Amino acid sequence: MSFEALHAVKVYRHLLKAIKKHIGQEDYKKHFGEFVMLEFRKNTNLSDHSAIQQKIKLARNYTFLLNSVHHHKDLLFSYNIAVDRSDEMKRILGKSAASVGLQLPEVYQP
């Protein structure tokens, strides 16, 4: 396998991981991952190296964008910039409780 092919596989893996982590795997969101898989499979037989490099660069940039947007959102939550932090605090408390083997009870909401 050539260096370019290994690089493409690495970019492909990172992109799928970012989609899975930040967009989700629910049924109504699967078309994001399916589109990426289709594009990478469609471009495996291209002979134009500049077009391949452009598409790999685009995939790498999109991965970077996904990760950066969600990191920025997490920073906004941590700085408490005009957002409701109750869901964030529930998630943090749930992780803390799970780390010692406990589970928080569900709160009744009428």
Q: pLDDT tens digits for the chain (110 residues)?
A: 677 778 888 888 898 899 888 888 788 888 888 888 888 887 766 667 777 788 889 889 999 999 999 999 888 877 766 656 677 778 888 888 888 988 877 776 66
Measured CA to CA, the distance from residue 49 to residue 102 in angstroms comes to: 54
Sign of CA dihedral 99, 102, 103, 108: negative
Q: What is the pLDDT of residue 21?
A: 86
Q: What is the pLDDT of residue 67?
A: 92
Residue 100: DSSP 8-state: T
Residue 86 half-sphere exposure toward CB, CA atoms < 13 A: 2
